[in-house]
Amino acid sequence: MEQQTRVNSLQAIQSGLERFVRYPQILLSAYVLNLLSALLLVLVPALLLVRPAHYTVIQTAADGIDTWLVTELLMSTTTYPTLQDSAEPLQPGWLSQSLLVITGILLIMPLFAWLPASFLAGGTLLTYVEAPPAFSWQRFLWGCWHWFGAFLLINLILGIVTQILVGALLVGMAAASSAAGSAINWITIPFAALVITLWLIVLEYTRLLAVHNRTRNMFKAFGSAVALVIHRPLVLLGFYALSLLILLLIQALFRALLLSEFVSWGLLFLIVSQIFIMARLSMRLIRWAGAVAIQPKHASAE
């Protein structure tokens, strides 16, 4: 029987913060990978925008996308043929091109999200679990490579299961609401939120326990994660609620900043938005590092 650590939610956050601060290289890796992935994706649309940058609409877009521009972008597939039929061919077909590019990017974006995340997760968790006195790039990269395939697989499988679970919950809620009236939503919505939260905790702990137990058997890790959630639900819920609260505060601060004229200038927006990305990444890593403190103490090496 594995012994459980006796930390509460706040202590887990504190522990996570300590480990996060001890290994800034992880934040740097995560940020660079996120930035490079995004730069790769933004390259084509940015080049496509060179020609429209002669149109004054670019000034509007620079201050934030207005509804009318989104409307035109979305409807360009119908207005463009209309004009082709009724007038001289249009000079700027860039709206339609942009729509095509955006659709393409949206299609490949999940890939760009999952690949780096699946790669970094192994090394990140290994470093936080082992907590070495000094950060080792060699050990970090070994961890990344060792669990890369397994994490890709588990992300794929559990991702699909998550979709099914969320779909089933939505259908159930709609059916309950239809049968018993809207008042039932006060019960079904919190219940669904709880189920989804617990499920997401299980997903996160599946990866963590795989590293902790030095195993690539994801089903075994999944079983351990379920057992942990059953044994310590309150501490886990408290921990994740605290993490969520901090994240929401960061989001609120950033959104409030966005509303001010202060960040409407392009360069300043770039700086502020990158700080926000760093803050989001930091919070994510603090959560992972803190989760280590709640999981079982003794590892069973592969």
Partner 1 sequence: MHRTIVLITLSAFLFTACGKQVTDPELNAETAPEWPVVDAVASYDMDVTLDPEHKTLTGHERITYVNTGETSIHDVIFHLYLNAFRDDHSSIFMQEAGPSHRGFSLDTDHPGWTEVTSIHLEDGTPLSFELIEDETLGRLELPHPIAPGKTLILEIDFKAQLPQVFARTGFYEDFFMVGQWFPKLGVWQNDRWNAYPFHANSEFFADFGDYDVRITVPEQYVIAATGLPVSSTANEDGTQTTQFEAKGVIDFAWSASPHFKQSTRKVDGTEIVYVYLPEHEFTVERVLYAAETAVSHFGDWYGMYPYPRLTIVDVPDQAEGAGGMEYPMLVAAGLADLTGLGIMKGRLDRLLETVTVHEIAHEWWYAVVAFNEAEEPWLDEGITDYSTVRLMDRVYGPNDTVLQLGGIELDYLQMRRMEYLADPLVPMYGKAWDFDQINYGIATYSKPVLALSTLENVVGEQTMLEIMSTFFEQYKFSHPTTQDFRSVAEDVAGQKLDWFFDGLVYGDDVLNYTVTSVNEHSLTVERQGELIIPTEVEVTFEDGTTEMTAWDGVQDEMTFDYPDRASIRQAEVDPHQKILVDLQWSDNGLSRRMDVMSWLAVSARLLFQIQDFLLGQGGL
CB of 34 or CB of 243, closer to partner 1: 34
Measured from the CB of residue 38, what is the shortest distance to partner 1 in angstroms? Answer: 4
Question: In whole angstroms, how close is the CB of 141 to partner 1 at the nearest point?
Answer: 15
Q: Give residue 135's identity as a one-letter amino acid code.
A: F
Show the site string, 211-250: x = touches partner 1 by CB under 8 A, - = not: ----------------------------------------
Neighbours of 58 (CB within 10 A): 12
List, as one string, the DSSP characters of 71-110. Answer: HHHHHHHHHHHHHHHHSSPPS--HHHHHHHHHHHHHHHHH
Least distance in angstroms from the C-beta of 3 to partner 1 = 27
Give the single-character DSSP code of 212. Answer: H
Residues 258-277 that bind partner 1 (CB under 8 A): 258-259, 265-267, 269-270, 273-274, 276-277
Cα–Cα dist 267/256, whole Å: 18
Kindly state whether residue 92 participates in binding partner 1, applying the rule CB under 8 A.
Answer: yes
Contact set for partner 1, span 277-296 (CB under 8 A): 277, 280-281, 284
Segment 126 to 185, residues that bind partner 1, using CB under 8 A: 151, 155, 173-174, 177-178, 181-183, 185
Which of the residues 117 through 136 are near partner 1 (CB under 8 A)?
A: 117-118, 120-121, 124
Q: Answer whether 124's CB lies under 8 Å from 30's CB.
A: yes
Single out the residue of 237, 249, 239 nearest to residue 280, CA to CA.
249
Task: Compute the least distance from the CB of residue 281 to partner 1, in Å.
Answer: 7
List 21, 28, 32, 35, residue binding partner 1 (CB under 8 A): 35
- Residue 56 has what DSSP assignment? T
> Given candidates 3, 67, 138, 260, which one binds partner 1 under the rule CB under 8 A?
67
Q: In this structure, what token pair is assigned to residue 229? A: 């959630």
Which of the ranges 8-16, 17-25, 63-71, 140-148 carries the binding residues for partner 1, by CB under 8 A?
A: 63-71
**197 touches partner 1 (CB under 8 A):** no
Q: Which helix (H) or strand (E) holds 9?
A: helix 9-22
Could you tell me the smallest distance in angstroms from the CB atom of residue 92 to partner 1? 5
Q: Which is nearer to partner 1, 105 or 229 (CB)?
A: 105
Quick check: 140 and 26 in contact, CB under 8 A?
yes
Separation of alpha carbons 200 and 204, rounded Å: 6
Assess contact for 83 and 90: CB atoms under 8 A: yes
Tell me if 196 contacts partner 1 by CB under 8 A.
no
The dihedrals phi and psi of 134, each to the nearest 5 degrees, come to -130, 145
**How far apart are CB 100 and partner 1 at their closest, in Å?**
15
